[in-house]
Amino acid sequence: MESDNRSIVDGLRERLTDDWQILQHILKLVQQKETLCADPALWSKEKIVDFKQPNELKQLLDLTINEQEAHSLSDIERICQQIIQYSLKTCHGRFHNQLFGQMDPFGLAGAWLTEALNCSTYTFEVAPVFSLIETEIISTVCRLAGYTKGDGIFAAGGSSSNMYGLVLARYKRCPSVKSTGMFGQRPLVIFTSEDSHYSLKKAAHWLGIGADNCIAVLTNDKGQMSLDDLELKIQEAKARDCVPFFINATAGTTVLGAFDDIAGLADVAQRHNLWLHVDACLGGAALLSHKYRSLVAGLERADSFAWNPHKTLGVPLQCSLFLTRDSDLLARCNSIEASYLFQQDKFYDVSYDTGNKSVQCGRKVDAFKFWLMLKARGYGQYGHLVDHAIDMSRLLEQKLRERPDRFRLVMDKHEYSNVSFWYIPKALRVSSSEETEEWWTRLYTVAPKIKEQMAYSGTLMIGYTPLGSRKLGNFFRMVLTCFPVLEAGELDFILNEIERLGELCEY
C-alpha cells in the first residue's frame, strides 16, 4: 500500500513537466475561430451557442467524474474542445443578452496572467505588485468620482459590493452591532427604488435586516426613484417606530438603465441623516464618459458606491469595486483580529495589507485585468467607447421608431445603453383600437418564443424580461456594451434577424 502510493506519486511527479504543455493546447483552442468569435468576420459564420436541452447535453458530453481516469494531453484537448462546442460564446459580437458582452483582449490577457501567478490579495507579502495596483485603481476611481479622500476594495461581485455599503452604514449608525448584533433593536430600514436590483433585498435578508425592511420606492416615468414617495416612505417608517438608515440610489437600473437623481437623493439623505449608497454596478462606466458624465452627477455626495467594470466595459468577470468617501471606516468596520495572517511585527508597512478591510479572507486578484486595460489604452479611450455604446443605443431607438408597425419602444427615450422594446409579429399587427388587454397578453408571449428561436439558431442573443413596476409583460432588453464596437449596419441586422426569427414562431 505504502509502496503503491509512492510509485503512483512518483509517476505523477514525473509527468508534471509535460503536463504544463497543456497551456499551449488551451491557447490553440482559444485561437480557433469557433471559441471567441470576437472578429466581425465570424459573426455570421459561427453560432453564439449550439443550444441543447440539459438532458440532451448530458447525453452528448461525458461529464461524470470517476476515481480512476487517465487522459493524455490530446484527450484533454478533445474534452476541452467539446466543452467549447456546447458553451455559450459571450465574446461573440451578437451576444447582447446580459449587461456584459465581449471582452477587451487586454482584459483577458490580464486575467490569464493573474491566474498564472495565482496570488491572494489579503497581504502585500503575497501580492506585492497587485496590492499596489488595487490601491492605484481605487484612488483613480475615487478621483474620478470626486472623493477627496476615500477608500475601497474589490469585492466578489455587485451583490457583495452593495452589502459592503449596507454593513458600513449600519456600523456607522450603530457600532455596537459589530459586537452584539441587532437583537432588541428597533427595525433598521432601507429605501431603494422598485426598479433597483434584487441584491438589495437579498442583502437585507443575509444581514439580518429582513427583506421586508427593504422598502420599495416608486419610480417616475423616467424610471427614477420618486423623491416625493421616498420622503413619504421615510415618514411612514418613522411613524412605525422603525429606524431609516440607508438610501440606495441606482445609477443604471437593470432593465431600463435609468439613473436616479443622486443629488436630489443626497439632499434627502442629508435631511434625515441617512447613508446614501449608489448602486452604480451598471452605470459606473458613465464616470469615464466624455459626453454622459452628468448621468452620475452628485456621486461625490454619496457615502459609498458600487461599480462593476465587468459590466459593459469588457473586463472579464468578476470585477466589482466598492468605494466609500470615508478614509478609514472600511478597516474599522471589517477588521477582526487574525494574528496568523495580519501580524503586526512584519518587516514592511502593514498598512498595505488590505485583508482587514474585506469580508473575504483569500481574495482573488480582480484588479490587474482592469488595470492592464486602462494602462494599455488610457481611461479616456473607454470613455469614448461608453459614449459610442450610448450613441448607438440612441440610433437603435431611432431605427426601431422607423419600423412602427413591427417594433414598439417600452420607453420613449432611454438614458443609457439599455433599449427595451417589443416585436410585433405579423399575426399581431392590428389597429391601435384593437390593442386590447388580451392583445397585450399575447404580445407578452412573443419575446420568449423568439428567444427560443435565437438559442436554437445561435445567430443572436437578446434578453427579455417583464417589468413589475410598470405592470408590463415580457419585452426585449438589449444592452449595448463597449465591446463589440458596433457599426450602425449591425443594428439593421439585429432588427432584421428578430423579424426573421419572429415569423418562424406561432402565436
Residues 35-74 within binding reach of a copy of itself (CB under 8 A): 35-36, 38-39, 49, 51-55, 57-58, 61, 63-71
Distance of closest approach, residue 144 Cβ to a copy of itself, in angstroms: 10
Instruction: Decide: is 105 part of the binding site for a copy of itself (CB under 8 A).
Output: yes
Q: Grid coordinates 408597425 are at which residue?
A: 405
Distance of closest approach, residue 96 Cβ to a copy of itself, in angstroms: 12
- Pick one of 197, 233, 277, 357: the residue that binds a copy of itself (CB under 8 A): 197
Distance of closest approach, residue 404 Cβ to a copy of itself, in angstroms: 26
What DSSP assignment string belongs to 305-350?
Answer: EEE-TTSSS-PPSP-EEEEES-SSHHHHHH----TTTS-SS-SS-G
- Pick one of 240, 466, 496, 504: the residue that binds a copy of itself (CB under 8 A): 466
Instruction: Decide: is 340 part of the binding site for a copy of itself (CB under 8 A).
Output: yes
267 or 379, CB closer to a copy of itself? 379
184 or 239, CB closer to a copy of itself? 184
12 or 430, CB closer to a copy of itself? 12
Residue count, binding to a copy of itself (CB under 8 A): 181
If phi > 0 it is left, if psi is from -120 to 50 it is alpha, else beta; for residue 186 that is beta
What does the angle CA 234 – CA 239 – CA 244 come to, to the nearest 5 degrees?
A: 40
Query: Could you say which residues in the range 295-334 bind a copy of itself, by CB under 8 A?
Result: 308, 310, 316-318, 334
x/- track of binding to a copy of itself for residues 130-149 (CB under 8 A): xxxx--xx--x---------
- Pick one of 465, 493, 499, 500: the residue that binds a copy of itself (CB under 8 A): 465
What is the CA 225 to chain-centroid distance, rounded?
21
For the chain, the straight-line distance linking the first and the last C-alpha, in angstroms and rounded, comes to 67
- Pick one of 3, 59, 183, 432: the residue that binds a copy of itself (CB under 8 A): 183
- Residues 275-314: b if buried by 16+ CB within 10 A, e if exposed: bbbbbbbbbbbbbbbeebbebbebbbbbbbbbbbbbbbbb
Instruction: Decide: is 287 part of the binding site for a copy of itself (CB under 8 A).
Output: no
3-state secondary structure of 418: strand
**DSSP bridge partners of 190:** 214, 246
Query: Could you say which residues in the range 359-418 bind a copy of itself, by CB under 8 A?
Result: 359-364, 368, 371-372, 374-381, 384-385, 387-388, 391
Torsion sign over Cα 405, 43, 376, 373: positive
- Pick one of 271, 290, 401, 426: the residue that binds a copy of itself (CB under 8 A): 290
Query: Could you say which residues in the range 2-41 bind a copy of itself, by CB under 8 A?
Result: 5-6, 8-9, 12-13, 16-17, 19-20, 22-27, 29-31, 35-36, 38-39
195 or 229, CB closer to a copy of itself? 195
What is the CA 411 to chain-centroid distance, rounded?
23
Query: Could you say which residues in the range 482-501 bind a copy of itself, by CB under 8 A?
Result: 483, 485, 487
Strand ranges inside 126-173, DSSP E: 151-155
3-state secondary structure of 18: helix
Instruction: Decide: is 119 part of the binding site for a copy of itself (CB under 8 A).
Output: yes
Residue 472: in which H helix or E strand, if any? Answer: strand 472-479
CA–CA dist 460, 438 (Å, integer): 29
Instruction: Decide: is 179 part of the binding site for a copy of itself (CB under 8 A).
Output: yes
Q: Using CB under 8 A, which of the segments 184-192, 219-227, 230-238, 432-440 binds a copy of itself?
A: 184-192
Q: Using CB under 8 A, which of the segments 122-130, 231-239, 268-276, 297-305 binds a copy of itself?
A: 122-130
Query: Could you say which residues in the range 201-240 bind a copy of itself, by CB under 8 A?
Result: 201-202, 204-213
- Pick one of 199, 248, 459, 481: the residue that binds a copy of itself (CB under 8 A): 199
Instruction: Decide: is 175 part of the binding site for a copy of itself (CB under 8 A).
Output: no
Q: In this structure, how many other beta carbons lie within 10 angstroms of the beta carbon of residue 455?
A: 19
Query: Could you say which residues in the range 241-260 bind a copy of itself, by CB under 8 A?
Result: 254-255
CA–CA dist 152, 121 (Å, integer): 14
CA–CA dist 42, 177 (Å, integer): 55
What is the CA 473 to chain-centroid distance, rounded?
24
Q: Grid coordinates 475601497 are at which residue?
A: 152
CA–CA dist 284, 364 (Å, integer): 22
Instruction: Decide: is 429 part of the binding site for a copy of itself (CB under 8 A).
Output: no
